[in-house]
Each structure stands twice: as C-alpha cells, then as structure tokens.
Amino acid sequence: MWLDPVIKEIIPSTNSYLKENCLFHGSVVIAKRQTHGRGRRGNSWLSDVEGNIYMSVAYVPNLPCEKIPLLSLAVGLAVHSTLEGFGIECGLKWPNDVIANGKKICGIMSELVDGICVTGIGINLKKLPENCGLSYATSAEELGFSLNKNDVIEKLLQNIEYEITHTDDIIERYSRHCLTLGKEVLINNTDKATALEISKNGSLVVDLNGERIAVNCGDVSIRGTYGYI
C-alpha cells in the first residue's frame, strides 16, 4: 500500500511535511534530520541525530471514528514487533511509547487531517547525545544493537500495513505487550490510579478512587508512580 518514500535531508517535521505536501493514502516521508521534531502533547522530539528514524505515514482509516485511536496503538504494535524482530526486547507504555530496558526507544504521534491519519514515528537507533537531558530515553545502539536503518524501515512499513488493516484482535494483542496495565499511574501528574485494561476504543481504563474511568490518549499524560513507566 505504501508509495515510494519521499526522502528529505532536513525538514522541520515529517508530520508537518506530509500534511502540507503529500497528504495521500500511502504516502511516506522520511527525514535524515528534523529542525522542529514534534512530540505528543506539545512536546518536542530530539531530531538532530543523524541515523535515527524520523518518518511519517499517511493512510485513510478503515475504522469508524470512535475506533480511530486504535490505529495509533496498532502502529505501536508494529514498532514493537519490528524491534523485537531485530532482537530488541520491548514493551508498550500506553498509548504508544515503545520501551526497551525500562526506557523510551520510540515515540509515535498521530494526527487526523481531512479524514486522513498522519502518524509520525521517531525511533532512536543511534546513541543519544551526552547531556541531552533525556534520562528516560534509550536507543538501539545504547542497548548494543547496530541496526541498518533501511532494513528497519522496510520491515516497519510492512508491519504497519499489517497492523492497521488487522485491528479485530488488537486489544488482546496490544494488552499482552502493554507495560502500563496493572501498574499504579499518575494521571496528569496528580491523580493516582491503577491501570486496569484497554477499552474497545483504545482508551485506558483506570481505577480512580474506586471508580472505573476511561482516559483518552489525547487528554492525559500517564506516568508510573515510581518512574516513567
């Protein structure tokens, strides 16, 4: 389903580029570096390390509106199986941080624009710069893996295609690898809750003071009570 990737030396952000230049089903944009890499909830994404993956894909969602958040979980699963396929053991922190050795190795951000899903994926393959202040982050290289970026991208695109078109049992498969479930979490740095399950629409169901509530990925930040996960 993917069109030939557009490859850029340096652009502000692959998500922004896709939105502004090639918002078609199947578009893929890959940048060697980004000047304004964006993360979820207004955060920035470290993007000046050459050799890391900075990629965005666009696709028309094949799900009803209320289930579209599942696609973001699906891309998380695709990164998970890709990295595991290259030997890196990892898990998923809801909604879709990929965690290896207790630290974040990949971030995913999805936006819906004119009915098209734009999903940006940042994967740290190379060592993080010293003093970058990202104590919660890691990379393939830091874990002792020297991966060929093009091989990872090729496998990742195959896995994304599979995952976004096979969402029937996604909750079960996602939950199997989700590190958040069963944990005490802090919602927006304040409310302590216990993560119970993933709802059929991809929300995180938590026990908050004895009450079951579902939190949506756009609305909250989730942190472990004792650390990032």
Q: Enumerate binding residues for ligand BTN (CB under 6 A).
A: 13-15, 34, 37-40, 43, 45, 54-56, 97, 107-109, 120-122
Q: How many CB atoms lie within 10 A of CB 38?
A: 20
Query: What is the smallest separation between the CB atom of 207 and ligand BTN, expressed in angstroms?
Result: 25
In the complex with ligand BTN, the residue whose CB is nearer, 96 or 167, is 96
In the complex with ligand BTN, the residue whose CB is nearer, 61 or 76, is 76
Query: What is the smallest separation between the CB atom of 155 and ligand BTN, expressed in angstroms?
Result: 17
In the complex with ligand BTN, the residue whose CB is nearer, 64 or 133, is 133
Record the tokens describing residue 39, joined without a space.
């993360």
Q: Cβ(107)–Cβ(118) under 8 Å?
A: no
Q: Cβ(58)–Cβ(116) under 8 Å?
A: yes
Rounded CA gap, 50 and 80, in Å?
Answer: 22
In the complex with ligand BTN, the residue whose CB is nearer, 11 or 181, is 11
Q: How many CB atoms lie within 10 A of CB 214?
A: 14
Query: What is the smallest separation between the CB atom of 34 and ligand BTN, expressed in angstroms?
Result: 6
Query: What is the smallest separation between the CB atom of 169 and ligand BTN, expressed in angstroms?
Result: 25
Q: How many CB atoms lie within 10 A of CB 146?
A: 8
In the complex with ligand BTN, the residue whose CB is nearer, 213 or 224, is 224
* Residues contacting residue 12 through CB under 8 Å, at least 6 positions apart: 34, 35, 36
Query: What is the smallest separation between the CB atom of 144 and ligand BTN, expressed in angstroms?
Result: 23
